[in-house]
Amino acid sequence: MSDALLGTRALRSLLGDWKGGGGPLYQALFDRIRLLVLDGRIPANTRLPAERELANALDVSRTLVSSAYRELREGGYTISIRGSGSVTRVPGRASLAVDSGGGFLDFTKAVMPASPGIALATQQSMDDFGRYLQGPGYNFEGIPELRDAVAARYAARGLATTRDQVLVTTGAQSAIALLSRVLLGRGDRALVELPSYPHAYEALALAGARLVPVNVTAGEGWDTSALEQLMRRTNPAVGYLMPDFHNPTGESMSVELRERTIDQAVRAGTTLLVDETSGELDIDRTEDFLPFAAYATPGDEHSVVTIGSVGKTIWDGLRVGWIRAEPGLIRTLAAARPASDLGTPVLEQLIVTRMLADMPEILGVRREQLRTGRDRVLQLVSERFPSWNAPRVAGGLASWVGLGSPVSSQLALAARAEGLLITAGPRFGLDGALERFLRIPLGYPTAQLEQGMDALDRAWQTIMRNPDSGAQAYGDVA
């Protein structure tokens, strides 16, 4: 299989302000490319630009780039292939998550432990499973029981839904990819939030979309004027939004903004892809919200497509999600689906069908788990990182912490040396921005949260002790 080529301009954009860390420049360039590979912003098997081309683009000597590339090869992050130059690789050690042998603690995923009811639901579902063994074993829409259960869950939350408005997918990411492929043509614009879920960016871009970002700020929410102007000016084909407990900021849209956004989408001919995978993870939000689609006026329902899953509420290992849309679009999606997959595993669908009936109780447990995690993270940040700003989120799975300096990538690298994998802020943005932020997950058990924060503390102290570090160089860390 041929290697993908990363253009010089694209790499320069990903690098951002790579010189800001102090120390030898070749080491800074090596560190930044290394992090881009480890974070997945530069995929494995990608051919890097030639040394001379990159040197010219960065306005540095070829010797500097050669030294950085040599460090990459020696560290196992690239290999040299005749005729292809330097091709990226991910060292096996770097792919470890939480393990049992002194490896890495993984904070790159905002997830929660499995709901304790899964084992019992699996046992109970085996009787139902037998009924499907005489059939083909898959269908494109999902089993009727689960589609009915999803529809009933929406109805209980205030959004009348029928079975023919639901298509079951293999997780939310599968839903995003399928919708992107069906609703987008090459060159179409897609409105996205900045920051946002990085794999949504990837799915939209893979479908050929040009991404048009609107800012979401922790503590402030959406840039409402920019959102409306972008809708009017660019007429995006789709808009990907997370209006409830936005990932990663934790913000929620007001009712007024929901209604205005739907109205603007109707005027612009935009289909809103509303990701509600974290929408029910309320801790102590003061206002109650209906599902986003419930705010559409009669006749405008076609402009809102809802994406859901049980990954954030029940367990990420249950790869079951769904799309809620008008029946005509559901049929179109079902017809297009076989190009990517032929259906969601039946047993997992049966398990989720049973567990959806217990969602009020499951969410009650999750609320307390997240409350404990949020409060502990806030306490630790206050005690150990006085220059950081951790907003008090009302729900969701993460805190979007302001570091006070654009050193997120450096901190993520230093944390690896302390046994912690954590994603640097730019992974949630476009073009290397968001170096002043770090996403800290809230759903891990208290002992793991404390272990991870201990590692972050050591990593931060390493940066602060280094007189040439970015934290010192920018001069804005107390």
Reduced 3-state DSSP string for 82-127 = CCCEEEECCCHHHHCCCCCCCCCEECCCCCCCCCCCHHHHHHHHHH
For the chain, the structural domain boundaries read: 4-93, 96-115+361-474, 118-357
In which band, very low, low, confident or very high, does the pLDDT at 97 lie, cut at 50, 70 and 90? very low
Tell me if 222 sits within 8 A of 213, measured CB to CB. Answer: no
The two tokens of residue 363 are 């969410």
Tell me if 180 sits within 8 A of 204, measured CB to CB. Answer: yes
The C-alpha R_g of the chain, in whole angstroms, comes to 23
> Does 73 score more than 60 pLDDT?
yes
* pLDDT-above-70 percentage for the chain: 93
Burial category of 192 from C-beta neighbours within 10 Å (exposed 0-12, middle 13-18, buried 19 and up): buried
Tell me if 117 sits within 8 A of 313, measured CB to CB. Answer: no
Instruction: Quote the CA–CA distance of 451 and 453 in Å, as a whole number.
Output: 6
Question: In the prediction, which pLDDT does 37 show?
Answer: 85
In which band, very low, low, confident or very high, does the pLDDT at 467 lie, cut at 50, 70 and 90? very low
Instruction: Quote the CA–CA distance of 30 and 66 in Å, as a whole number.
Output: 10
> Does 1 score more than 60 pLDDT?
no
Pairing of strands 189-194, 271-275: unpaired
| Polymer length of the chain | 478
The two tokens of residue 16 are 């951002």
Give the distance from CA 347 to its chain's centroid. Answer: 27
**What are the CA-CA distances from residue 395 to residues 72, 177, 321, 391, 431 (Å)?**
40, 26, 21, 11, 28
In which band, very low, low, confident or very high, does the pLDDT at 85 lie, cut at 50, 70 and 90? confident
Coil, strand or helix at 208: coil
Q: What is the mean pLDDT of residues 101-129?
A: 89
Residue found under tokens 């320069």: 12
Tell me if 362 sits within 8 A of 279, measured CB to CB. Answer: no
Coil, strand or helix at 446: helix
Tell me if 398 sits within 8 A of 470, measured CB to CB. Answer: no
Tell me if 283 sits within 8 A of 371, measured CB to CB. Answer: yes
The β-bridge partners of 138 are none
User: Of the CATH numbers 3.40.50.720, 3.20.20.60, 1.10.3720.10, 3.40.640.10, which one belongs to the domain with range 118-357?
Assistant: 3.40.640.10
Instruction: Quote the CA–CA distance of 237 and 184 in Å, as a whole number.
Output: 7
Reduced 3-state DSSP string for 122-190 = HHHHHHHHHHHCCCCCCCCCCCHHHHHHHHHHHHHCCCCCCHHHEEEECCHHHHHHHHHHHHCCCCCEE
The two tokens of residue 320 are 């079951």
The β-bridge partners of 275 are 307
Terminal CA-to-CA distance of the chain, rounded, Å? 50
**What are the CA-CA distances from residue 54 to residues 11, 16, 66, 162, 367 (Å)?**
9, 14, 10, 55, 49
Instruction: Quote the CA–CA distance of 172 and 380 in Å, as a whole number.
Output: 32
Residue found under tokens 């986003």: 292
Strands (E), 146-278: 166-169, 189-194, 210-217, 221-222, 238-241, 271-275
> Does 223 score more than 90 pLDDT?
yes
Among residues 37, 10, 22, 25, the alpha carbon closest in space to that of 68 is found at 25
Give the distance from CA 138 to its chain's centroid. Answer: 28
Bigger pLDDT: 93 or 161? 161
The angle subtended at Cα 283 by Cα 282 and Cα 284, nearest 5°, is 105
407-465 confidence digits (pLDDT tens)? 998 899 899 999 999 999 999 998 777 889 999 999 999 999 999 999 999 999 998 88
Instruction: Quote the CA–CA distance of 411 and 409 in Å, as a whole number.
Output: 5
The reported pTM is 0.83
The angle subtended at Cα 47 by Cα 211 and Cα 203, nearest 5°, is 30
266-314 confidence digits (pLDDT tens)? 999 999 999 999 999 999 999 999 999 999 999 898 999 999 999 999 9
φ, ψ at 50 (rounded to 5°)? -60, 155
Question: In the prediction, which pLDDT does 24 show?
Answer: 85
Tell me if 194 sits within 8 A of 214, measured CB to CB. Answer: yes
DSSP at 209: P
Q: Which helix (H) or strand (E) segment is 420 a member of?
A: strand 420-421
φ, ψ at 473 (rounded to 5°)? -60, -35
Bigger pLDDT: 297 or 101? 297
Q: Which value, to the nearest 10 degrees, does the dihedral of the CA atoms of residues 155, 160, 166, 168 take?
A: -10
Q: Does domain 96-115+361-474 have CATH number 3.90.1150.10?
A: yes
Class of the domain covering 4-93: mainly alpha
Q: How many CB atoms lie within 10 A of CB 227?
A: 22
> Does 232 score more than 90 pLDDT?
yes
Q: What is the mean pLDDT of residues 36-56?
A: 86
